[in-house]
Structure 1
């Protein structure tokens, strides 16, 4: 019943944790000359794999799509600063807050699923 939901949540939480690590590293290096901002890409690939799997008649398609989804680290070379650093603290803080809110929402959703399961087991 909750197999795919838990697997998807686990994958998304792992991505969000990694993204927060990357954003904290960017903020820590805001004054490091030549440092290039790094970010993590996951959402689009994950969404595409899930859409593709949802149209399949194979019962293993969804679990395989979840398992095969991975995040990708990337950086860009667009630097407007003299020191060649492209970290913008406002962007990093905004993205960090956004990522934190997504993490909290996902945890609340998982907790609700477990509460529903617990109620079903208790017969309530």
Structure 2
């Protein structure tokens, strides 16, 4: 199964999992002086790749541009919490869509 849809869903799941790990790292370092939060990006490149008929991308991580506190850190717990909720919902949606892709294959293999 190497359709564009499969590639997009696979890339999205990988990128969202990477984002979940980064959010966990950010939260774990909320009180670490000088720690700069990381941000995982892949959606824009994924959209471009899908429109080209491929759908395979790697997520990238960059440092957050949010303002720093007096200790030099810039993790905002509210931002991380909202980002985590958004990421979990997107992951569930993509996982359900992937399951639908495999369900169609299973049905076709059974011949019914």
Q: Specify if TM > 0.5.
A: yes
Deviates more, 1:31-40 or 1:108-117: 108-117
Deviations 1:15-35 (CA, angstroms, capped at 9, x unpaired): 111111111000000001111
Q: Which runs of 4+ in 1 moved over 4 A?
A: none
1:20 aligns with 20
Structure 1, unmatched stretches of 5+, are 54-61
Aligned length: 112
- Distance in 2 separating the partners of 1:76 and 1:17: 18
Query: TM-score normalized by structure 1?
Result: 0.80
8 Å CA contact retained: 2:8, 2:50: no
- Distance in 1 separating the partners of 2:77 and 2:62: 18
2:80 aligns with 92
Compute the RMSD of aligned alpha carbons: 1.8
Deviations 1:60-94 (CA, angstroms, capped at 9, x unpaired): xx23xx33x22221113543421121110011011
